[in-house]
């Protein structure tokens, strides 16, 4: 009997996809190669920018993502993961395009917050401007009475976006410094916990965050754990 196959709709960005796969392996209970989760990855970094589509009416990424979902569906995936937070603004369309279940990254994070820190009411969101504008985190977390704060009011000086761009350009050390400062800014604004709500942030920041004593949750990590739980029961 073949083991369940996880399909990964990746490339948004490439470092984030690699980070997800590393975390999937780390969270899988296995003593040898053969006990890990069978995975097929569709990675298309040419997918149009998700934030540009949300914020500025840029080219829709949906046709490219549809192609990826169709590929994973045809390949026989039993579950699909999308290690890109902003892509989940189109979650309903993507889930409707396949009979294969698609894990929702924000639901995975929300479940971890509820389990780990039910008393935390104000969460700092480190995400793309597109993710913030889409409201996907606010929609899920407000259901449990939580407030989400961010740094989008800083406009072009938003250090979260600067850090994300640095990750995509391969400047990981510089990105880590920028994003650590952004995290401290959110804590200074009253965040009782931090969500790494962009998988590029997940690729460079650790849990717990360096230089801060607030709890943090990593969307890529939460997605990996949710996939392991779904496929391994």
Annotated active-site positions, please?
A: 84, 198
CA distance readout (Å), 52 to 15, 113, 120, 128, 207: 19, 29, 32, 10, 29
Q: How far apart are CA 176 and CA 164, in angstroms?
A: 9
Residues written for the chain: 233
Residue 216 DSSP class:
E
Longest pairwise C-alpha distance within the chain: 54
Backbone angles phi and psi of 201, in degrees to 5 = -65, -45
**Is-contact 20 220, C-beta < 8 A?**
yes
Q: How far apart are CA 180 and CA 174, in angstroms?
A: 10
CA distance readout (Å), 36 to 8, 149, 181: 15, 37, 36
Peptide bond into 208 cis (omega under 30): yes
Residue of 155, 162, 153, 157 whose CA lies nearest to 198: 162
């Amino acid at each position: 009997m073949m083991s369940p196959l996880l399909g990964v709709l990746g490339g948004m960005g490439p470092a984030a996809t690699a980070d997800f796969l590393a975390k999937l392996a780390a969270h899988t209970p296995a003593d040898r190669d053969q006990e890990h989760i069978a995975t097929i990855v569709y990675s298309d970094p040419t997918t149009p920018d998700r934030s540009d589509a949300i914020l500025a009416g840029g080219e829709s990424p949906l046709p490219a993502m549809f192609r990826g979902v169709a590929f994973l569906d045809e390949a026989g995936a039993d579950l699909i993961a999308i290690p890109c937070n902003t892509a989940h603004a189109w979650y309903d369309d993507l889930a409707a395009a396949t009979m294969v279940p698609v894990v929702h990254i924000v639901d995975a994070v929300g479940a971890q917050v509820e389990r780990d820190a039910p008393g935390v009411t104000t969460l700092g969101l480190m995400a793309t401007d597109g993710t913030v504008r889409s409201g996907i985190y606010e929609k899920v977390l407000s259901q449990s009475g939580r407030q989400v704060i961010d740094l989008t009011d800083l406009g072009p000086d938003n250090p979260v976006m600067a850090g994300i761009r640095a990750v995509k350009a391969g400047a990981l050390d510089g990105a880590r410094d920028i994003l650590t400062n952004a995290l401290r800014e959110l804590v200074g604004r009253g965040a009782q916990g931090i969500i790494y709500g962009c998988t590029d942030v997940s690729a460079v920041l650790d849990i717990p965050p360096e230089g801060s004593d607030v709890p943090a949750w990593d969307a890529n990590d939460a997605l990996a754990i949710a996939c392991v739980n779904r496929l391994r029961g």
